[in-house]
Amino acid sequence: MYKVFVNDIPIILSAEQDMGEKYTSLPIKEVKLKKIIKKINKGKLLYVHLHHSKEEKLLKHLFKKLPVVTAAGGMVLNKQNEVLFIYRNGRWDLPKGRVEKTESLEEGAIREVEEETGVQNLEITRFLQKTYHVFQRKGKYKLKVTYWYEMRTDYTGELVPEVKEGIMKVKWKDREKAQKALQKSYANIKLLFPEEMLPVYSKNRVS
Q: Model confidence over 86-95: pLDDT tens digits?
A: 999 999 999 9
Please report the pLDDT score of residue 20 as a whole number: 83
Handedness of CA 100, 103, 104, 107 (dihedral sign): negative
Q: Model confidence over 20-69: pLDDT tens digits?
A: 889 999 999 999 999 999 999 999 999 999 999 999 999 999 999 999 99
Q: How far is 35 from 55, CA to CA, in rounded Å?
A: 23
Structural domains of the chain in order of their starting residue, each with its CATH number: 2-65 (no CATH), 69-203 (3.90.79.10)
Q: pTM for the whole thing?
A: 0.91
List Cβ neighbours of 72 (8 Å cut-off, separation of 6 or more): 96, 97, 99, 105, 106, 108, 109, 112, 146, 147, 148, 149
Summary mean pLDDT of the chain: 92
Name the band, by pLDDT with cuts 50, 70 and 90, for residue 113: very high
| Percent of all residues in the chain with a pLDDT value above 70, rounded to a whole number | 94
Q: With 50 as the cut, is the pLDDT of residue 196 above it?
A: yes
Q: With 50 as the cut, is the pLDDT of residue 152 above it?
A: yes
206 or 195: which leads in pLDDT: 195
